[in-house]
């Protein structure tokens, strides 16, 4: 027996981590909505639905709560939508252009005021 101590445990740990990594599944928003709506229809029990879909009951109830809260916010008038990246870029460039315009007009205004006060001094 020329095995080093701890090598079989290390191999077992790696195997378990690999299995966990492969069994963990991520669900798209569409899949979550489909599962939650199936549960809300009530055609089968939540436990049976969760067994069929391979998820835990607590995960279903978490998704259901998030789904209903999002709908509640939408219906209560909290309809502030997220700005898209192109919109944000366009608004930022427009804001910069307006700031530059204000700076130019402010400078021009100051120069005109100085020229007006300078002209009065020469007239007297």
The pLDDT tens digits of the residues spanning 85-94 come to: 888 889 999 9
Domain ranges of the chain: 26-79, 82-124
* Helices 57-75 & 29-41 angle (0-180, nearest 10): 90
Q: How far apart are CA 83 and CA 12, in angstroms?
A: 49
Q: 16 vs 6, which has greater pLDDT?
A: 16
pLDDT tens profile 41-78? 999 999 999 999 999 999 999 999 999 998 887 777 65
């Amino acid at each position: 027996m020329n095995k080093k101590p701890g090598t079989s445990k290390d191999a077992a740990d790696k195997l378990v981590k690999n299995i966990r990594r492969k069994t963990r599944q991520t669900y798209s928003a569409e899949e979550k909505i489909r599962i939650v709506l199936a549960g809300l229809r009530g055609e089968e029990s939540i436990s049976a639905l969760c067994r069929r879909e391979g998820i835990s009951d607590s995960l279903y109830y978490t998704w259901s709560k998030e789904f209903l809260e999002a709908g509640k916010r939408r219906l209560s008038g909290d309809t502030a939508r997220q700005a898209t990246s192109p919109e944000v870029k366009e608004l930022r460039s427009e804001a910069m252009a307006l700031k530059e315009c204000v700076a130019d007009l402010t400078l021009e205004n100051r120069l005109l005021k100085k020229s007006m006060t300078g002209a009065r001094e020469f007239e007297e």
